[in-house]
Structure 1
Amino acid sequence: MIGVERVIMVRRPLAEVVAYLEDFGRTEEWDPGTVRCVRLDDGPVRPGARWRNTSRFRGRTTDLRYELVLRESARLLFVGENRTVTARDDLRFAAEGTATRLTYRASLKFKGFARLAAPFVRGEFERLADEVVTRLPTAAEAWRS
């Protein structure tokens, strides 16, 4: 398994940042690896909500089905899966005055023979996490609920 963690400051109140990020379909706006993300069900976003996320990683495109597993006032947990990998996006929030400190943890756990690739993709995964630090605050701050 490979994982990354970044701390990101967003100049919006905590509840607004959580409301923005709870819709995983918005990953197109802030995740540099996401090509497309489509909601697979209807209704309010709550635990059990699902998306199909198409990502480009190291020149290859892949689909993962993500689910919102946990939704708390200061935490969101999404788990995505396909036949070769399980991905986790664990977002934890803390108010810092009128801003929000987001601790973003992402991990990939490869399955079967794909596990052999883990050491070779770590650098690219780190680079993408660095881009999230730049893109996510800009997208969240521009969002209007």
Structure 2
Amino acid sequence: MITVERSFLVGVPLDDLIAYLEDFGHTEEWDPGTVRCVRIDGGPVRPGASWHNTSRFRKRTTELLYRLEAREPHRLVFTGTNKTVTATDVMRFEAQSAASTRMTYTASLRFKGLARLAEPFLRAEFEKLADQVEQQLPPAAEAG
């Protein structure tokens, strides 16, 4: 399994940041690997809500079904799956002031079958992607 984690400050109040991020469709704005992310069910965003995510990694396009697993006062958990990987994104939040929030973002990828053999060679690339998320998410959330 590959796990990457970043902690950073976002100039958005805690409740507003969670409201922005709980709609996983916004990943198009802050995740450099996401090409498209579309909600595939209706109603309010709550645990069980699902998105079809199209991502590009190493010049390949992959499709994942993401689901909001948990929405707690200071934590969101999403799980994305397809035939080769299960991705888990955990976002934890701590108010720093009335106008800013410290966010800790942890992404874990568990590869399946033969894809597991590639894990040691992919870690550095996922670290780079995590660095890009750390740079792109704050301004996207602040604009959102």
TM-score bracket for this pair, using the shorter chain length: over 0.9
RMSD of the TM alignment (CA)? Answer: 0.5
Measure, in 2, the Cα distance between the counterparts of 1:61 and 1:118. 18
**Counterpart in 2 of 1:78?**
78
Measure, in 2, the Cα distance between the counterparts of 1:89 and 1:64. 13
Structure 2 segments unaligned to the other structure (5+ residues)? none
Measure, in 1, the Cα distance between the counterparts of 2:54 and 2:15. 27
Q: By how many angstroms is 1:8 displaced?
A: 1.5
SS in 2 for 1:41: coil
Measure, in 2, the Cα distance between the counterparts of 1:12 and 1:59. 33
Question: Structure 1, residues 12-66: CA drift from partner, whole Å, max 9, x if none?
Answer: 1100000000000000000000000010100100000000100001111000000
Q: By how many angstroms is 1:73 displaced?
A: 1.2
Aligned length: 143
Letter in 2 for 1:139: A
Measure, in 1, the Cα distance between the counterparts of 2:39 and 2:122. 27
What TM-score do you get using the length of structure 2 for normalisation? 0.98
Measure, in 2, the Cα distance between the counterparts of 1:97 and 1:39. 32
**Counterpart in 2 of 1:22?**
22
What TM-score do you get using the length of structure 1 for normalisation? 0.98
Measure, in 1, the Cα distance between the counterparts of 2:127 and 2:23. 23
Measure, in 1, the Cα distance between the counterparts of 2:90 and 2:131. 16
Letter in 2 for 1:112: G
Question: Structure 1, residues 61-114: CA drift from partner, whole Å, max 9, x if none?
Answer: 000000000001110000000000000000000000121000000010000001
Measure, in 1, the Cα distance between the counterparts of 2:132 and 2:34. 12
Measure, in 1, the Cα distance between the counterparts of 2:42 and 2:127. 33
Are 2:108 and 1:107 aligned?
yes
**Counterpart in 1 of 2:65?**
65
Q: Which runs of 4+ in 1 moved over 4 A?
A: none
